[in-house]
Structure 1
């Protein structure tokens, strides 16, 4: 079984794109941030961590957003880079 890729982000340093998979996340840092605005039976969850770019080796800060009924029953929605240089203006 291959990696379960959530989405790709751009490195804030070398600007190359790389994939982030469920296995790359530090699930022990999962935080429940409360009920979803549009469905109070679901909760929003986040993981804030650093991940190493496979191209340049620099650490990039990321934020994983997910929602679900519990910590064991959720689906990652997206991963975004928190690095300033990851976005083009």
Structure 2
């Protein structure tokens, strides 16, 4: 092979390599953009679930208070029922 043929092939190879590099850079940029987008979605979901968990915890605390009040009212009702049964009226 002549020197000019080798130089042309080398130039073609270098051009091809630079094209491949540009393609990889583009794909890499797109991949990072997608990763950032997905990370944002995951963070949003995490905050949403966190907020839901806080709401559930508050509702559970309210439910425990209502259950305690219910138990107190049942006790009073039971005492009143017993008093009524014991009453001569």
Shorter-chain TM range is under 0.3
Which has more helix, going by share of residues? 2
Which structure has the larger Rg over C-alpha atoms?
Answer: 2
Instruction: Report the TM-score, using the length of structure 1 for normalisation.
Output: 0.14
Which has more strand, going by share of residues? 1
Instruction: Report the TM-score, using the length of structure 2 for normalisation.
Output: 0.14
By relative contact order (CA 8 Å, sep 6+), the higher-ranking structure is 1
